[in-house]
């Protein structure tokens, strides 16, 4: 028995890197998988490649069920088609894994409006578009009487949670994804939907472009292998995590960690409005 037996999952950006390994493990655990990937270059430009086909072929060769999707998650209608493709192919949808992403790193003083908008469109709007249509389907099924638990797994990043120079657009979008995860967990809980996010660190086209190869030494555990991320995604996409929602979990190699959302760490108060001088005199009490 697999953790995803009888389930259907969508993985965006499923043709390469972390997404590819997520698709393969979901399938090995019993899921039928919609492998969504437009085949874009790292910066989002068109290449004409179809990596989704290769992943689908690999899943089918192992006896699993999978179909490709080439819909662009930045398009509202494309995301609707993506969700509908899972239902049309396999009769249902149980899990959505939002993984698609691009990078166009620049320091803020060198960043163009086009580069900023393109990155935010894939990461932030792409998450919204897919969740918009998946959540509507999940809500409809719940109102029909389904007691099945559904799962949404978003992908954020330490660049957004902790900050990283040179990644204004990427970090802003990933911080937004973390915020959306908290909001959607509250909105969708009543309909039997868990919403969580992962903050993975692994070797991908993105990390190689920013940090280099990050290869492990011969004979050592490869902490940067993208396959290390997949078990956490399967856990969050399965009924094993039915009581988990609104969480952001980081994973790198064998390390698993929980991120806490923003919270008030210190506070001071006075009766009435502060003056500039009063704030200047007491600001260090909270800084």
Tens-place pLDDT, residues 9-20: 999 999 999 999
DSSP letter string, 96-143? EE--------B-GGG--HHHHHHHHIIIIIHHHHHHHHHHHHHHHHHH
Q: Is the dihedral of CA 84, 88, 33, 195 positive or negative?
A: positive
Strand pairing category for 32-36 and 248-252: unpaired
pLDDT bucket at 157, cuts 50 / 70 / 90: very high
Name the residues annotated as catalytic.
157, 170, 174
Higher pLDDT, 252 or 218: 252
Report in angstroms the alpha-carbon separations of 210 from 117, 161, 214. Answer: 20, 18, 10
Residue keyed to tokens 């790292």: 42
pLDDT bucket at 217, cuts 50 / 70 / 90: low
Q: Quick one: tokens of 184?
A: 């959607």
Distance (Å, rounded) from C-alpha 130 to C-alpha 210? 27
Tell how far CA 203 is from the center of its chain: 16
Q: Please state the φ and ψ torsions of residue 48, each to the nearest 5 degrees.
A: 80, 0
Residue 218, pLDDT > 90, answer no
Report in angstroms the alpha-carbon separations of 265 from 262, 268, 286. Answer: 9, 11, 8
Among 124, 123, 122, 130, which Cα is nearest to 152's? 130
pLDDT (mean) for 185-209: 88
Distance (Å, rounded) from C-alpha 221 to C-alpha 217? 8
Distance (Å, rounded) from C-alpha 247 to C-alpha 194? 10
For the chain, the average pLDDT equals 94
pLDDT bucket at 145, cuts 50 / 70 / 90: very high
pLDDT bucket at 135, cuts 50 / 70 / 90: very high
Q: Please state the φ and ψ torsions of residue 198, each to the nearest 5 degrees.
A: -115, 150
pLDDT (mean) for 229-251: 98
Is the distance from CB of 160 to CB of 177 less than 8 angstroms?
Answer: yes
Domains in the chain with CATH codes: 8-285 (3.40.50.720)
Is the distance from CB of 94 to CB of 151 less than 8 angstroms?
Answer: yes
Distance (Å, rounded) from C-alpha 22 to C-alpha 35? 10
Distance (Å, rounded) from C-alpha 241 to C-alpha 151? 9
Residue 92 CB-density burial (10 A; 0-12 exposed, 13-18 middle, 19+ buried) = middle
As a whole-number percent, the residues of the chain with pLDDT over 90 amount to: 87
Residue 215 CB-density burial (10 A; 0-12 exposed, 13-18 middle, 19+ buried) = exposed
- 168-188 helix and 113-120 helix, angle to the nearest 10 degrees: 30
Tell how far CA 174 is from the center of its chain: 9
- Structure letter (DSSP) for residue 167: B
Predicted confidence at residue 245, as pLDDT, reads: 98
Residue 26: which H helix or E strand, with range?
Answer: helix 17-28
Q: CB-based contacts of 162: which residues, under 8 Å, 6+ apart?
A: none
Residue 221, pLDDT > 90, answer no
* pLDDT tens, position by position, 21-60: 999 999 999 999 999 999 877 867 777 789 999 999 999 9
């Amino acid at each position: 028995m697999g953790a995803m037996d009888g389930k259907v999952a969508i993985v965006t950006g499923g043709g390469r890197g972390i997404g590819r390994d997520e698709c393969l493990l979901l399938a090995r655990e019993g899921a039928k998988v919609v492998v969504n990937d437009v085949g874009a270059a790292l910066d989002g430009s068109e290449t004409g490649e179809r990596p989704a086909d290769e992943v689908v072929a690999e899943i089918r060769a192992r006896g699993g069920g999978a179909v490709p999707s080439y819909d662009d998650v930045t398009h509202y209608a494309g995301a609707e088609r993506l969700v509908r493709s899972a239902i049309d192919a396999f009769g249902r949808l149980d899990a959505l894994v939002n993984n698609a992403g691009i990078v166009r790193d620049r320091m803020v003083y060198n960043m163009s409006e086009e580069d900023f908008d393109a990155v935010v469109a894939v990461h932030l709007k792409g998450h919204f578009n897919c969740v918009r249509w998946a959540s509507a389907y999940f809500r409809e099924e719940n109102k029909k009487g389904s007691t099945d638990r559904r799962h949404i797994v978003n992908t954020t990043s330490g660049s957004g949670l902790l900050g990283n120079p040179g990644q204004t657009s990427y970090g802003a979008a990933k911080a937004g994804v973390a915020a959306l995860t908290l909001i959607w967990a509250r909105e969708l809980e009543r309909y039997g939907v868990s919403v969580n996010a992962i903050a993975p660190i692994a070797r991908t086209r993105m990390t190689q472009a920013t940090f280099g190869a990050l290869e492990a030494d011969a004979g050592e555990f490869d902490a940067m292998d993208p396959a290390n991320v997949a078990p956490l995604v399967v856990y969050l996409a399965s009924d094993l995590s039915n009581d988990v929602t609104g969480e952001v979990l980081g994973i790198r190699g064998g390390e698993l960690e929980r991120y806490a959302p923003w919270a008030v760490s210190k506070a001071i108060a006075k009766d009435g409005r502060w003056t500039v001088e009063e704030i200047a005199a007491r600001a260090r009490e909270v800084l």
